Amino acid sequence: MTATSKTSKSNVPGEKTTTRPVGAQPLPGADLDSTAHIMNRISSQLATQLSLVSLDGRRRPEPPALVLVAHGSRDPRTLRTVHTLVEQVRELRPGLPVHLGHIELNEPLLPDTLASLGTGDAVLVPLLLSRGYHVKRDIPEMAAAARARTLVAGPLGPHPLLVETLHARLVEAGWPTGMDETTRRTSAVVLAAAGSRDPEAAVDTGRTAHLLSQRLGVPVVPAYASAATPTVDTAIRALTARGRDRVAVASYFTAPGLFATQCAEAAPWIAAAPLGTHPAMARLVLHRYDQSLATATTPAPQLASA
């Protein structure tokens, strides 16, 4: 007599169905994976809710919102990268309100994001790598015009977490993790950045180049896609003239775009991807947020407002 089979369906989306003979006992642990997954989700959500409640049962004040300020770009890859970074920040800090605002070109624009916060508290973290006009003028002026009480964090760079990301991107592109002395003497890196007329932007980029050079053990020369010198091509030619014929281009851009593509195309050897959504980037965004709150001269309820 042939035993019939019975199909067991799972209520968990995406989980496979299982088939076993009628009357057979379920295999030990067969349903444990799905149960554990559900319990983990419940525990995570419960922990987030409990973090908002103090020991005496009163609801803790909501922390100031984090507003990630991106420049904006016509390249759809940039917008996708920024949205992914926002989600990474949310995952690292459950319970923290995280919003996005653009200086130009993409929605939501920063003034609209700030308007949606009403008179709430917020820390604006520029997704920019150095000081310059946007950090010094554009963002503070938009913040001052809003009803929300705001702090404006400094740019992401320079910082060791950026060097960690640059190094990882170079290794992904083919930079050797081990290098003999002969190879080291013929290797170099051009740190390709957007460029700015503000001399402090060059200081910040130069500091990052110095930190990366220490990490790699080879010369790292900052170069720019616009508004500053040297250009990437000029920097590559200068290094080649010094006997450095293995020149890599490190992409000091937060996301893919026109400048990053042009700089990569100039690479005579390897070209690294932009910083993008490397895990260190989300950690750095939260570090700038925490740093701004810790160094504020006035408590959060007294944040600057229009």
Residues designated catalytic: 71
Q: Please give the Cα distance from 156 to 73 (Å, whole number).
A: 18
What φ, ψ does residue 274 adopt, rounded to 5°? Answer: -60, 170
Q: Please give the Cα distance from 100 to 66 (Å, whole number).
A: 8
Radius of gyration over every alpha carbon of the chain, rounded to an integer in angstroms = 25
SS3 279: helix
Adjacent-strand bridge partners of 19: 7
Q: Please give the Cα distance from 114 to 262 (Å, whole number).
A: 34
Question: How would you classify the pairing of strands 220-224 and 187-193?
Answer: parallel
Q: Please give the Cα distance from 210 to 57 (Å, whole number).
A: 51
